[in-house]
Structure 1
């Protein structure tokens, strides 16, 4: 397995692709341990919608690490299209991606919508988030 990783990195370097480490939680963020539920389904125009939920606060973890701004308020949720996937990169807008989230001490729901072209529909993504939030009680 290690040899495959080395070979993949060498090939990427030869093709001009720099390997970057994913963002990690801040040292002072204690990662709660518990069940996380994920579901992926089709979304507008051949896209996908991933819903992630947990019965604890996911702030500063998982996909929420990608958030590069405070997002815009949409109902009780926040949404952004500005992402930073590595600590060594500059945040930038990703027009075909949308991340919406709502968190509390007791539960979190995150929705990631990706479309091959065009912008993901914020209303549809937040509606899915709200449905999952309500279903969690």
Structure 2
């Protein structure tokens, strides 16, 4: 697994790339729902962190992921101002790294 950091404007994006299915692992385990489809990824700002039974909506964070049996990319954006815009931008980060992992 590889972890990287990038910027989208003033927001920070942490990216995980793996050559296996990250479902239930890494950032993907924080997803409190199935996410919404955005540009080939699933994205959500509803989180469930370790040790918590409750779901938290984080308007300044966005999690997007794309997984398969032999590769995965997940990205979480922190410090975002507009979660609607950030979903598309974060999904674009996932798409770019997904294309690089072939």
TM-score normalised by length of structure 1? 0.68
Correspondent of 1:119 among 72, 82, 100: 82
User: In angstroms, what is the RMSD of aligned CA positions?
Assistant: 1.3
Q: Which entry has the higher C-alpha Rg, 1 or 2?
A: 1
Shift of 1:69: 0.7
Question: How far apart, in 2, do the equivalents of 1:106 and 1:98 lie?
Answer: 24
Correspondent of 2:26 among 40, 45, 62: 62
Which structure dedicates a bigger proportion of its chain to strand? Answer: 2
TM-score normalised by length of structure 2? 0.90
Query: Residue in 2 aligned with 1:74?
Result: 38
Aligned length: 100
Query: What are the ranges of 5 or more consecutive residues in structure 1 without an aligned counterpart?
Result: 1-35
Task: Describe the SS at the equivalent of 1:63.
Answer: helix
Shift of 1:99: 0.2
Tell me whether 1:104 sits opposite 2:78 in the alignment.
no
Query: Residue in 2 aligned with 1:51?
Result: 15
Query: Residue in 1 aligned with 2:5?
Result: 40
Question: How far apart, in 2, do the equivalents of 1:122 and 1:88 lie?
Answer: 24
Query: Relative contact order (alpha carbons < 8 A, sep ≥ 6): 1 or 2 greater?
Result: 2
Query: What are the ranges of 5 or more consecutive residues in structure 2 without an aligned counterpart?
Result: none
Shift of 1:86: 3.0
Q: Do the aligned residues in 1 keep the contact of 2:20 with 2:72 (CA within 8 Å)?
A: yes
